[in-house]
């Protein structure tokens, strides 16, 4: 098991380390070590057009890496940091184009996991870290998940992640020549949009996306995929035989891999609990027999605002929505 000191050494040499955060484990490199940043992309097999989130030790540190940090950014950071909120803001020259996929903006987040915070304090340079999994696969929420996904990566262990799904990402900018702000929800998470709006109640806001609408660029719709087909069932009253027939037909499954049985995944009613266990359950489901498919049924209780983010991940992880 890696000690904090060893993790710091690796990072300072320009290497990568998997680190715990309260959302999911991240694959971290110092933002000023190009070798490390490049390794993140090669280890994850991640395309360079997908920008990385930069993790900071504090609000003060965040401000050193961006421009146009206004009052709304300040209020949100004060309200939700350290915590699972990523704020996208105009970057400055200290953030390389490799991190942001040449976008003029950077996603900043101060995580609240004590191991991550302590590491950031010690290193005193922000860490770029995407989730520690292969591109498009399920994010890891325990050291074991990281070992299975990325066996060669050293891990700074910090137990199981408390939140369980990735941070809420918002972009917020002033609309030129007005006193209005434009807020775009880029990825829903366990910090709800209504909470964000409440915090910004004194600012005139134009909301661009509520998380229910079309996907934002850079957010591919085949993310978080488990190893066996996951089916999200919206229609009730469909018999198992019908479901199986549609899976085999629509997914073009060959005879030898034909799906014969459905394994139902029951998620708890409380969204925060469902989020916490979701990825572990998808992984466990993925270890079952090849001729099985995982099934999650849409339920009445999934209509709350917090469920939006869990449903977002479930739908993106699904091979088929019926």
Task: Name the site residues for Mg ion (rule: CB under 5 A).
Answer: 131
Which span (59-67, 128-136, 251-259, 274-282) binds ligand TXA, by CB under 6 A? 128-136
Which span (17-25, 247-255, 271-279, 313-321) binds ligand TXA, by CB under 6 A? 17-25
Phi, psi of 163 (to 5 degrees): -85, -50
What is the C-alpha to C-alpha distance for residues 91 and 71, in angstroms, rounded to an integer?
17
What is the C-alpha to C-alpha distance for residues 248 and 96, in angstroms, rounded to an integer?
45
Of 131 and 149, which has the nearer Cβ to Mg ion? 131
Local structure of 312: helix, strand or coil: helix
Near ligand TXA by CB under 6 A: residue from 50, 160, 162, 298: 50
3-state secondary structure 54-113: EECCCHHHHHCCECCCCHHHHHHHHHHCCCCEEEEEEECCCCCHHHHCCCCEEEEECCCC
Q: Judging by beta carbons within 10 Å of its beta carbon (0-12, 13-18, 19+), is residue 239 exposed, middle or buried?
A: exposed
Phi, psi of 4 (to 5 degrees): -60, -40
Near ligand TXA by CB under 6 A: residue from 36, 72, 107, 126: 107
What is the smallest separation between the CB atom of 59 and ligand TXA, expressed in angstroms?
16
Of 47 and 268, which has the nearer Cβ to ligand TXA? 47
What is the smallest separation between the CB atom of 10 and Mg ion, expressed in angstroms?
21
- Taking CA 138 as the corner, what is the angle to CA 320 and CA 267, rounded to the nearest 5 degrees? 65
Site string for ligand TXA, 248-287 (x = CB under 6 A): ----------------------------------------
Of 39 and 246, which has the nearer Cβ to ligand TXA? 39
Q: Which residue is nearest to ligand TXA (CB)?
A: 130
Residue 218 touching ligand TXA (CB under 6 A): yes
Of 154 and 218, which has the nearer Cβ to ligand TXA? 218
CB atoms within 10 A of CB 211: 18
Task: Note whether 131 and 140 are within 8 A (CB).
Answer: yes
What is the C-alpha to C-alpha distance for residues 160 and 63, in angstroms, rounded to an integer?
30
What is the C-alpha to C-alpha distance for residues 86 and 15, in angstroms, rounded to an integer?
24
**What is the footprint of ligand TXA within residues 71-90 (CB under 6 A)?**
84, 86, 88
Which span (44-52, 173-181, 193-201, 230-238) binds ligand TXA, by CB under 6 A? 44-52
What is the smallest separation between the CB atom of 250 and ligand TXA, expressed in angstroms?
27
Task: Note whether 156 and 7 are within 8 A (CB).
Answer: yes
Task: Note whether 189 and 254 are within 8 A (CB).
Answer: no
Site string for ligand TXA, 168-197 (x = CB under 6 A): -x----------------x-----------
Of 131 and 167, which has the nearer Cβ to Mg ion? 131
> Contact positions toward ligand TXA, by CB under 6 A?
21, 23-24, 26, 50-53, 84, 86, 88, 100, 103, 105-107, 109, 111, 129-131, 166-167, 169, 186, 218-219
């Amino acid at each position: 098991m890696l000690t904090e000191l060893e993790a710091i050494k690796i990072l300072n040499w320009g290497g990568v380390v998997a680190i715990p955060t309260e959302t999911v484990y991240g694959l971290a490199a110092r933002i000023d070590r190009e070798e490390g940043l490049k390794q993140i992309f090669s280890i994850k097999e991640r395309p360079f057009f997908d920008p990385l989130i930069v993790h900071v030790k504090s609000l003060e540190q965040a401000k050193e890496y961006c421009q146009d940090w206004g009052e709304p950014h300040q209020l949100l950071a004060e309200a939700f940091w350290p915590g699972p909120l990523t704020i996208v803001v105009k970057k400055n020259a200290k953030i390389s184009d490799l991190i942001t996929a040449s976008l003029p903006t950077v996603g900043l987040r101060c995580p609240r996991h004590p191991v991550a915070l302590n590491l950031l304090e010690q290193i005193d340079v922000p860490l770029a870290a995407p989730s520690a999994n292969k591109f498009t696969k399920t994010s890891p929420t325990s050291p074991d998940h990281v070992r299975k996904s990325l066996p060669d990566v050293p891990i700074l262990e910090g137990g199981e992640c408390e939140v369980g799904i990735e941070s809420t990402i918002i972009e917020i900018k002033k609309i030129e020549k007005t006193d209005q702000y434009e807020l775009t929800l880029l990825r829903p998470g366990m910090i709800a949009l209504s909470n964000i709006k409440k915090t910004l109640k004194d600012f005139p806001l134009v909301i661009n996306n509520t998380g229910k609408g079309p996907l934002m660029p850079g957010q591919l719709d085949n993310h978080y995929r488990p190893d066996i087909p996951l089916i999200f069932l919206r229609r009730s009253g469909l018999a198992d035989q019908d479901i199986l027939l549609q899976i085999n037909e629509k997914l073009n499954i060959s005879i030898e891999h034909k799906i014969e049985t459905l394994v139902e995944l029951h998620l708890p009613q409380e969204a925060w609990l469902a989020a916490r266990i979701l990825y572990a359950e998808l992984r466990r489901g993925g270890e079952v027999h090849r001729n099985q498919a995982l099934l999650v049924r849409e339920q009445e209780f999934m209509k709350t605002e917090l469920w939006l983010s869990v449903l977002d991940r479930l739908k993106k992880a699904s091979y088929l929505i019926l």
